[in-house]
Structure formats: structure tokens, C-alpha cells
């Protein structure tokens, strides 16, 4: 049995691999100009992004109960889905989704 801190380390590496911590400032101007968001809406999205990056309790528990490969596989799906929808919106491939979405 691994010590509990190993799951925390696994979860941190999984979040780093997702890359969301450093990419929001890169695409936020595109969100503002292409999707017509005002600064207040963009700030709320930034806060939601920060909260999502720092919620580590479920991944830590999962990494302590399941192999890290399983947790990465499960975590890859929402990361891929969220990044894909964001890319399709910013590239104007699909119509913009409502702000709440």
C-alpha cells in the first residue's frame, strides 16, 4: 500500500499534464473578441478555471484507490472534451455556446 501523499503527487502531475494552468491567459483574448465576452465574464471564467485546477481531493482519493493509469484515462476524457469544445468555439467551427455553458 502506498502512502497517501503518493496519490496527491499523482493528481498534481495529472493536472500539470492537462496544461490548463498555463493556457488560459493565451486564449482568453480570443474568447473576449471572438465570442463577445466582456471583462467581467472573462474574469468569472478565469476564476472557474482556477477553482477547477485546484480541486484535488477527488483525484487524490482516486489515485489512492486505483492505479494512476486508470485515473489518467478517466481524467483525459473531460480534459479532451473541454479543450475540444473550446477549440471549436474559438476557431468558429461551430456556433458559440451560451455563456453559462
Q: Is the pLDDT of residue 24 over 60?
A: yes
- What's the pTM value of the predicted model, to 2 decimals? 0.56
Q: Is the pLDDT of residue 18 over 70?
A: no
Position 20 scores a pLDDT of 60
**Grid cell in block for residue 54:** 485546484
CA distance 21 to 24: 7
What confidence tier does 17 reach under pLDDT thresholds 50, 70, 90? low
> Please, are residues 31 and 94 in contact by the beta-carbon 8 Å criterion?
no
- For 71, counting Cβ atoms within 10 Å of its Cβ (0-12 exposed, 13-18 middle, 19+ buried), the class is buried
Position 65 scores a pLDDT of 83
The pLDDT tens digits for 58-76 are 777 777 788 877 877 887 7
Amino acid at each position: 500500500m502506498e502512502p497517501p501523499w503518493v496519490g496527491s503527487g499523482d493528481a498534481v502531475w495529472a493536472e500539470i499534464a492537462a496544461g490548463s494552468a498555463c493556457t488560459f491567459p493565451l486564449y482568453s483574448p480570443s474568447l473576449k473578441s471572438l465570442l463577445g465576452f466582456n471583462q467581467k465574464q472573462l474574469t468569472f471564467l478565469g476564476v472557474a478555471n482556477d477553482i477547477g485546477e485546484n480541486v484535488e481531493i477527488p483525484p487524490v482519493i482516486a489515485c489512492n484507490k486505483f492505479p494512476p493509469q486508470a485515473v489518467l484515462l478517466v481524467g483525459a476524457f473531460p480534459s479532451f472534451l473541454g479543450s475540444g469544445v473550446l477549440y471549436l468555439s474559438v476557431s468558429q467551427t461551430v456556433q458559440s455556446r451560451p455563456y453559462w455553458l
